[in-house]
Each structure stands twice: as C-alpha cells, then as structure tokens.
Amino acid sequence: MKNINDYEYISLVSDILDNKDFNKLSTIEHHGTNRLDHSIKVSYYSYLAAKKLNLKYKEVARAGLLHDFFMSYEDRTSFERFISTFTHPKYALINASKLFDLNDREKNIIRTHMFPINLAVPRYLESWLVSIVDKGVAFYEFYHSYSPIFRTAINYLYFFILFSLYRAD
Ligand SMILES: [Fe+2]
Ligand SMILES: [Fe+2]
C-alpha cells in the first residue's frame, strides 16, 4: 500500500502524509501491520468507493486517513487495549483537530468510525462508508496476520460449517 500512484488522491492528503507527528503512526503495531499503513488503506479504499458513489471523496480521504490518529504503546495490557477500542475515536479526533482544519463531516467520520462497537451513530453517508471500509480492512489485516497453516485451517472450518448447514436443510 506504500506506493500509491494516484496523484489526485495524493494531492488531497499530502499535507497529512507529510506531517511529522502523523508519520509516527508508522512505528505502532496495528492488526499485524502498522497504524500508518492501515490508515492509508482505509483512506484510499474509502476514497475510491466515495468517488464511485458520488459522495464527498475529499472529506472521506482526509478523515479516513486520520480515523486512527492516536498513539499507544507496545506494552499495553489487554485491559488497556480493550478500553482503547472504545476511547480511541475521541483521541483521534482531538489529535487530528490540533493539526488540521476539519469540517463537521470529517469530525463525524473520525468520531463514529467504530460504530456499532461505539454508540456514536454515523450522521453522514461518508461516515458509514469509512466505518464499513475500516472493518473490512481490519478483518483482512487480522486474517493475514496469522500463519498460512492457521488460515488454511480456518478456511476448512468455514467450509465444514457451510457444508453442515447445507446438509441440515
Ligand atoms: Fe479505529
Ligand atoms: Fe481503523
């Protein structure tokens, strides 16, 4: 994901990508990759979908990039990780607002991207879009963070479950 050659996309987010504090996300582990790479994936795929759906793709690209703009440490306890699941959209919005001018739509995209785990309901179609793309990207990253043997075992398990359901009919 590091080599995006889409110059229109880059021109919309270059100030964020060039920001020194934002680039610290590259040092933080996130779903088996790093938080910067995850954020770029969510931003770029959301941007492509927003263009197809005639939504406000600039806001989607920028807020998608900033949606997980929070710092955390490797040695967090499981409890701290759990709490962070609920609190990080608030901190991402605080951090992003300090460095960049955000409109209401961009703020809402960041603040509600964890719905329905968080109860803040998306107010714009753009917020729904980033929330859905974030979950898809996170699932893909989690899945690929496991070994090929584990993934193959999971695939066989899915197949077995589907086959059992089919036979039960
Ligand atoms: Fe998040
Ligand atoms: Fe995310």
For residue 154, the SS3 value is: helix
Distance 14 CA to ligand 2 centre (A): 19
Q: Which ligand is nearest to the CA of 92?
A: 1
Intra-chain end-to-end CA distance of the chain, in Å = 43
Model confidence band, residue 26 (pLDDT cutoffs 50, 70, 90): very high
Average pLDDT of the residues of the chain: 91
pLDDT at 168: 66
Q: Which ligand is nearest to the CA of 142?
A: 2
The answer to whether the CB of 50 falls within 8 A of the CB of 56 is yes
Distance 17 CA to ligand 2 centre (A): 16
Distance 138 CA to ligand 2 centre (A): 7
CA dihedral for 21, 22, 23, 26, sign (positive or negative): positive
Helix, strand, coil % over all residues of the chain, rounded to 5: 70, 0, 30
Q: What is the pLDDT of residues 32-61, one digit of tens each?
A: 889 999 999 999 999 999 999 999 999 999
Q: Which ligand is nearest to the CA of 110?
A: 1
Distance 129 CA to ligand 2 centre (A): 12
For residue 113, the SS3 value is: coil
Q: Which residue has the higher pLDDT, 42 or 143?
A: 42
Q: Which ligand is nearest to the CA of 31?
A: 2
Q: Which ligand is nearest to the CA of 35?
A: 2
Residue 159's identity, in one-letter code, is: F
Distance 139 CA to ligand 1 centre (A): 12
What token pair was written down for 115? 């719905």
What token pair was written down for 144? 């690929």
Span 63-77, mean pLDDT?
92
Phi (first) and psi of residue 106, to 5 degrees: -65, -40
Percent of the chain with pLDDT over 90: 69
Q: What is the dihedral of CA 39, 42, 43, 44, to 10 degrees?
A: 120
Q: Where are the domains of the chain?
A: 7-168
Q: Which ligand is nearest to the CA of 140?
A: 2
Question: What ranges make up the beta strands (E) of the chain?
Answer: 29-30, 33-34
Distance 43 CA to ligand 1 centre (A): 12
pLDDT at 144: 79
Phi (first) and psi of residue 60, to 5 degrees: -65, -45
Q: What is the pTM of this model?
A: 0.85
pLDDT at 2: 59
The answer to whether residue 94 scores a pLDDT higher than 80 is yes
What architecture is domain 7-168?
Answer: Orthogonal Bundle (1.10)
Question: What ranges make up the beta strands (E) of 49-138?
Answer: none
